[in-house]
Amino acid sequence: MSEKIYLYPRWIRLWHALNAILIILLIITGVSMQYSNPENPFIRFDLAVRMHNLSGMILTVNYFFFLIGSFITPNGKYYKLSIEGLPARLMKQFTYYTFGIFKHEQPPFPVTRESKFNPLQQFTYVIAMFMLVPVVILTGWALLYPEVVLTKFFSGSGIKINDFIHVIIGFFVSFFMFVHIYFCTIGATFVSNFKSMITGFHESH
Amino acid sequence: MTHFFTRFTRTLPVHLIIAVLIVLLTSFSIKAQTDRNAENAKFNEKCLKCHGQSKYQYINSETGAGVTKRMYLETIINRDQFAESNHKNFKCTDCHSEDYDTFPHPGRLRMESKYACIDCHGGDEKYAKFNFEKIETEFQESVHSTKHSQDFNCWMCHNPHTYKINARSEEKIRDIVAYDNAICLNCHADITKYQMLTDKVNPNIIKEHEWLPNQALHFKNVRCIECHARPNDSILVAHNIQPKEKAVRRCVECHSTNSILMATLYKYKVKEGRSKAGFYNGVIMNEGYVIGANRNYYLGLLSLIMFGCVAAGILIHASLRIIKRKK
């Protein structure tokens, strides 16, 4: 019999849903612009630019919403990464995903009210939310206003460095999204984690 | 070794003499040219004494009194701009009648026919690479010529007293863009000049381009002719200005690996061969950034491989989960 814990309050579900839509839009429009081709336009260029810019702006606001929310609610504690014994914990979770899961072993770090994420999740979420996303947001705004930001700090030549960073980090965010969505299917059932995003209740194995 | 030495000593004086002669001839010809330029500049000073400023003075021969008059705007030559222009080394009377030497200038000189670019630059070996004949043909086909016929000539855009070619210099693309766009705006942003050739009201450029995303950025970094003239491979700068309906409106014409900017704005630099390995349109990377046109081949390849690995990993994991699922 599976157990249900209320883990995802309404504000997190709202933030997460909006974040998911925006990041998917940003990936699609970003790839379309990066590989724009007159013969085979994926999304019309000007449309892709406008959608990408608008999504990026809303994502920024949403990111601050997440930061403030995590600061004023207990949600922030889930992102406090304890370095001590981290490699061993990461390895344990990794071994579970690569071997244990196929042998139907119990997850080494079951979801509880105190620990929402397993070590691998916590580690990648910290990297994504506190390293990749801020960099991609900053470089994105710099590309929106190259006159103001880039020429000031890099005397004009910074635009290509900035673009390079934006594109590379964008690729990593995309990889994260693919794996993140796939890992969502690893739950009590194939769809239980997707249901949790709506109901707020986490269903354990 | 001995043979080489004998040959070397035998041929050395001849080579030395030729080399010395070349150096001497070159320095003489440079000196002669410099002297001639200085002489021309001195000669031009006679004209610029009046035409180089906004007012001129003369003695009225009837009354003997000194008179100060305002110079007509069109006949004022900006000394600084002339000194930097392509024609800086010419004497005024190389192009204008020598009769201008007298003051007051004879009235019939007003009827003097003026040279067009092709009169000097056409059919000349020295200018063959610029293909002035082709430029002339392209101009004849442009809206400037077809809509305004004889009224519109080269001087409308290329003031012979100030025009300088800057695309070949080391100036930044942005400066070239500003200089070239100022030529268009000279009439298209000035109702009085615009209406010299038409009765129409000059369209508001900002409003007409409202559809263009990041308008200010485009205006600062791209020349008007990039979208408004049809590129031609045989000339460096396109002169076939198209009617507004035919202007480039599709973003991907520039924002793609086959960017037309490589055939227009960056053409000269492309010809110089300044591209970087691994980058599509590397020339643009030197000074600008055009989404979709600047790509790195290796980054593209690496990202594809990584996307492939992620997809394969997910596929293998998902398949194993299905195979090993509880029965």
Confidence of residue A153 (pLDDT cuts 50, 70, 90): low
* Distances from the Cα of A95 to the Cα of A78, A88, B282, angstroms: 22, 10, 45
d(CA B205, nearest CA chain A) in Å: 20
Residue of A nearest to B313 (CA): A179
Q: Residue B290: pLDDT above 50?
A: yes
- Provide the domain count of chain B: 1
What residue numbers bound the domain in which B34 lies?
Answer: 1-107
Residue A35 at interface with chain B, using a CB cutoff of 8 Å: yes
pLDDT tens-digit map of B28-85? 666 777 777 888 888 888 899 899 989 988 888 888 888 999 988 888 999 888 988 8
Best residue in B251, B298, B301 for a mutation probing chain A (most A CBs within 10 Å): B251
Q: Using a CB-CB distance cutoff of 8 angstroms, which residues of chain B are in contact with residue A159?
A: 288-289
- B 231-250: CB under 8 A from A: 250
Mean pLDDT across the stretch B267-283? 57
Tell me what the pLDDT averaged over chain A comes to. Answer: 88
What is the model's pLDDT at position B28?
66
Residue A1: band (very low, low, confident or very high) from pLDDT cuts 50, 70, 90: very low
**Residue B292 forms contact with A (CB below 8 Å):** yes
Long-range CB contact pairs, A85-88, < 8 A, 24+: A86/A119, A86/A123
Q: What is the tens place of the pLDDT at every residue in B111-167?
A: 888 888 888 888 878 878 788 888 888 998 998 988 887 778 888 888 889 888 766
Q: In this complex, is the C-beta atom of B320 within 8 Å of any C-beta atom belonging to chain A?
A: yes
Closest alpha carbon to B116 in B135, B88, B93: B135
Q: What's the ipTM?
A: 0.88
Cα(A33)–Cα(A120) distance, rounded to whole angstroms? 32
Instruction: Tell me which of A34-48, A52-66, A72-86, A88-102 is least confident.
Output: A34-48
Q: Which residues contact A118 (CB under 8 A, 6 or more apart)?
A: A93, A107, A108, A109, A111
B292: helix, strand or coil = coil
Domain ranges in chain A?
4-203
- Which of A168, A166, A141, A173 lies closest to A24, judged by CA? A173
| Residue B79 is assigned to a structural domain of this protein | yes
**CB B318 to CB A37 under 8 A?**
no
Give the model confidence (pLDDT) of B155-166 as tens digits: 888 888 988 876
Nearest CB to B285 within list A35, A104, A160: A160
Q: What integer pLDDT is reported at residue B3 of this predicted model?
A: 57
Q: What is the pLDDT of residue B276?
A: 45
Residue B155 is predicted with a pLDDT of 85
Note whether B321 contacts A: Cβ–Cβ < 8 A: yes
Q: What whole-number distance in Å separates Cα of residue B255 and Cα of residue B259?
A: 6
Residue with tokens 């009837």: B62
Entry pTM: 0.68
Q: What is the pLDDT of residue B278?
A: 58
Q: Would an 8 Å CB–CB cutoff place B297 in contact with chain A?
A: no
| B314/A34 Cβ within 8 A | no
Give the Cα separation of B270 and B261 in Å (integer).
10
Q: Answer whether residue B205 is part of any domain.
A: no
Peptide bond into B104 cis (omega under 30): yes
Residue B312 lies in a domain: no
- Which residues from A are below 8 Å from B213, CB to CB? 46, 49-50
Confidence check: pLDDT of B275 > 50:
no
Name every residue whose Cβ is closer than 8 Å to that of residue A102 and which is 6 or more positions away in sequence. Answer: B320, B321, B324
Residue B52 lies in a domain: yes
Chain B CB contacts of A46 under 8 Å are 213, 251
Whether B296 has its CB under 8 Å from any CB of chain A: the answer is yes
CA distance A200 to A5: 8
Highest mean pLDDT among A52-56, A140-144, B64-68, B104-108: A52-56
Per-residue confidence (pLDDT) for residue B266, from 0 to 100: 72
On the question of pLDDT at B274 being above 50, the answer is no
What percent of chain B shows pLDDT beyond 70?
A: 85
- Sole residue written with tokens 């080399």: B19
The continuous run of DSSP H or E covering B295 comes out as: strand B295-296
**A205 near A2, Cβ under 8 Å?**
yes
CATH code for the domain defined by A4-203: 1.20.950.20
